[in-house]
């Protein structure tokens, strides 16, 4: 691989091409430069800057309170930590739902100011699809998001699997097709029965990215603090923890505190 190829920034088109070759896509949600650098070095296909930062970073009980300025800030520092990765930024509540004009303005601003390579919009109704189509015409790649959409948590009755009944399943499939027709390059399926997610994945030409949606999706996404075992209060059925870093953090800080109180740190090796 040439130096030019190594330095080339990944794009939404790369995800589509990988999925078309049958390669499973790996997406991780991260919020800062430090972790973005580590995630990119591990070889993920894309980094999602999720508005879940409201829950994970800010301690909110939903994503509804997250602002566009906050999303731009976090997307900017993620891009700084992973300059060649495909960075996708979530568009937060009220940035695209009110009008197509708002969607174009806010998505354009998010990409312009952060350097992200794509945006993600929740929902698949007519207004959401119109927003997706307009943003795509602007030249900004858009990832869709169906199933459990956190910005609609109150209307959906909480953190619940979506599409369990025939009507809900048919609506989700229709929404997925609508997003594809509008130009979305991929669709996240969150908290969707595995059988339904398989049907949606089969019906779409663009890749699906699952989170709590079974193994038939074209890729999977997890939030980094969740998969690292840092976010101990979050333990849904779909989550597999690949580390227990909360234990490591507590142990490291405890040992630091013990050394300080005992006068063992700093010692001669750690002093000028």
Element (H, E) at 222: strand 219-223
Q: What is the spatial distance between Cα 166 and Cα 117, in angstroms, rounded to a whole number?
A: 36
Instruction: Provide the sign of the torsion angle of the four alpha carbons 130, 131, 134, 135, taken in this order.
Output: negative
Name beta bridge partners: 28: 47, 222
Residue 190 annotated among the catalytic residues of the structure: yes
Residue closest to 77 by CA, chosen among 28, 32, 42, 17: 32
Instruction: Kindly provide the b/e burial profile for residues 46-68, where b requires at least 16 CB atoms within 10 angstroms of the residue's own CB.
Output: bbbbbbbbbbbeeeeebbbebeb
Active-site choice (180, 190, 202, 258): 190
Query: SS3 for 269?
Result: helix
Q: What angle do CA 31, 197, 111 make, to 5 degrees?
A: 30
Q: Which residues are catalytic?
A: 190
């Amino acid at each position: 691989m040439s130096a030019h190829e190594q330095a080339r920034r990944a794009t939404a088109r790369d995800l589509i091409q990988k999925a078309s070759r049958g390669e499973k896509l790996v997406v991780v949600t991260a919020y800062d430069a430090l972790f973005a650098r580590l995630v990119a070095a591990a070889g993920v296909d894309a980094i999602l800057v999720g508005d879940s930062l409201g829950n994970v970073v800010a301690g909110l009980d939903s994503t509804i309170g997250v602002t566009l300025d906050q999303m731009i800030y976090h997307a900017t520092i993620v891009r700084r930590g992973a300059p060649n990765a495909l960075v996708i930024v979530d568009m937060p509540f009220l940035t695209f739902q009110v009008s197509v004009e708002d969607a174009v303005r806010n998505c354009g601003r998010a990409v312009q100011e952060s350097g992200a390579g794509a945006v993600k919009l929740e929902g698949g109704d007519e207004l959401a699809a119109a927003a997706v189509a307009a943003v795509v015409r602007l030249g900004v790649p858009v990832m869709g998001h169906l199933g459990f959409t956190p910005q609609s948590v109150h209307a959906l009755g909480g953190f619940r699997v979506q599409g369990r009944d025939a009507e809900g399943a048919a609506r989700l499939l229709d929404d997925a097709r609508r997003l594809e027709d509008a130009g979305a390059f991929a669709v996240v399926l969150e908290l969707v029965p595995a059988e339904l997610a398989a049907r949606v994945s089969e019906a779409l030409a663009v890749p699906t990215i699952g989170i709590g949606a079974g193994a038939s999706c074209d890729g999977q996404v997890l939030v980094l603090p969740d998969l690292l075992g840092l976010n101990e209060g979050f333990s849904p059925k779909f989550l597999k923890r690949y580390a227990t870093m909360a234990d490591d953090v507590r142990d490291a800080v405890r040992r630091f505190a013990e050394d300080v109180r005992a006068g063992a740190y700093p010692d001669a090796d750690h002093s000028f």
